[in-house]
Amino acid sequence: MSMYFKTYASSSSGNCLALWTNRCAILIDCGLGSMKRTRAVLADLAAIAPPVAAVLVSHLHSDHVAYYPLRALEHAAIPVRVHEADLAPLRLRHFNGYGFPHLALVPYAGPFDLPGLHIEPFPLSHQPACPTFGFTIRAPNRTRWLKAVIATDFNRPDDVRPHLIDADFIFIESNHDLELLKKYYNPNSRYHMPNPKTADLLCQTRLQSKKAPAAVMLGHLSPQRNHPQLALETVDSHFQQHLAPRDFPLTAAPQTTPSMTVTIQ
């Protein structure tokens, strides 16, 4: 059984990632700006994947979950899985006084299963008082389990490195270029990964892994403080400097449009 991955949005203005097998689909975050856009994503995914079993929320910033997407998810009867520490804050921050009487909110704390998927949340260091999580997602494939790792919105590589070892697919934040940050300073950038740190994280991970991932995609690029080519070139340069094999396909997620579909097998 193969896994498939596609992004619908990946930047500080909105994030929505999709992963699926032939048994079920999930969204990781749904921070889209409107019900219309959320419904369009659900319709697109329905044409290529099984029904969405759940939306996994990494943290409560509005570019990852928000009121209008929650309305669309409620109407579509799609469960929303949020960390148990965020159940009450989610209601305070994003319900806007609306009761959401039919929204299925399901807390997670540790690993959990969905049809054909085993999901392991792990904590990330992001903004203070904002619990944030990455996800290791496994699916059976013949004689072994495929492993995909999704991690954005963090600033401490050591939180993530152990989870990336021998992953079949990696979606990782590469938020900003250091020179562009000087030109367009944003204090919140300190809570995100700059291109060189991401490059070093990927390089060290590859050196510690027994095999190359099937693919790596860089995500959550800042529209003002980064460009896809800068992020990709930084990774390639770092691998060359450290004589490490960059023997896997490397792409950058589009910020506001769908990406290609990545097949993981």
pLDDT tens, residue by residue, 219-229: 999 999 999 99
**pLDDT confidence of residue 99:** 85
Give me the mean pLDDT over the 36-43 stretch.
Answer: 98
**pLDDT confidence of residue 8:** 98
**Residue 143 pLDDT grade (very low, low, confident, very high; cuts 50, 70, 90):** confident
Model pLDDT for residues 99-135, shown as the tens digit of each residue: 899 999 999 999 999 999 999 999 999 999 899 999 9
Class of domain 3-264: alpha beta
Measured CA to CA in angstroms, residue 193 lies from 122, 136, 150, 160 at distances of 17, 19, 14, 12
Phi-psi label, residue 42: left if phi above 0, alpha if psi -120 to 50, beta otherwise: alpha
| β 117-124/112-114 pair status | antiparallel
Given a cut of 90, whether residue 98 has pLDDT beyond it is no
Provide, rounded to the nearest whole percent, the portion of the chain with pLDDT above 70: 100
Distance CA 222, CA 208 (A): 29
Distance CA 265, CA 261 (A): 13
Distance CA 126, CA 188 (A): 10
Model pLDDT for residues 8-28, shown as the tens digit of each residue: 999 999 999 999 999 999 999
Give me the mean pLDDT over the 183-205 stretch.
Answer: 97
Give me the mean pLDDT over the 25-41 stretch.
Answer: 97
Model pLDDT for residues 68-81, shown as the tens digit of each residue: 999 999 999 999 99
Given a cut of 90, whether residue 160 has pLDDT beyond it is yes
* Cβ atoms 121, 159 nearer than 8 A: no
* Cβ atoms 203, 238 nearer than 8 A: yes
Two tokens, residue 169 = 């697919």
Mean pLDDT, rounded, of the chain: 96
**pLDDT confidence of residue 2:** 94
**pLDDT confidence of residue 179:** 97
Phi-psi label, residue 150: left if phi above 0, alpha if psi -120 to 50, beta otherwise: beta
- Sign of the alpha-carbon dihedral angle for 122, 120, 158, 250: negative
The domain limits of the chain are 3-264
Global pTM value:
0.96
Q: What is the DSSP string of the chain?
A: --EEEEEEEEETTEEEEEEE-SS-EEEE-B--S-HHHHHHHHHHHHTTSSPEEEEE-----TTTB-HHHHHHHHHTT--EEEEGGGHHHHHHHHSTT---TT--EEEESS-EEETTEEEEEEEE--STT--EEEEEEEEEETTEEEEEEEE-S-S-GGGTHHHHTT-SEEEEE--B-HHHHHHS--GGGGGS-BHHHHHHHHHHHHHH-SS--SEEEEE---TTT--HHHHHHHHHHHHHHTT----S-EEE--SSS--PPEEE-
Model pLDDT for residues 228-244, shown as the tens digit of each residue: 999 999 999 999 999 89
Two tokens, residue 233 = 């070139």
Closest CA to 171 of 187, 158, 154, 186: 154
**pLDDT confidence of residue 163:** 98
**pLDDT confidence of residue 105:** 96
**pLDDT confidence of residue 42:** 98
Closest CA to 180 of 218, 233, 237, 226: 226
Given a cut of 90, whether residue 142 has pLDDT beyond it is no
**pLDDT confidence of residue 173:** 98
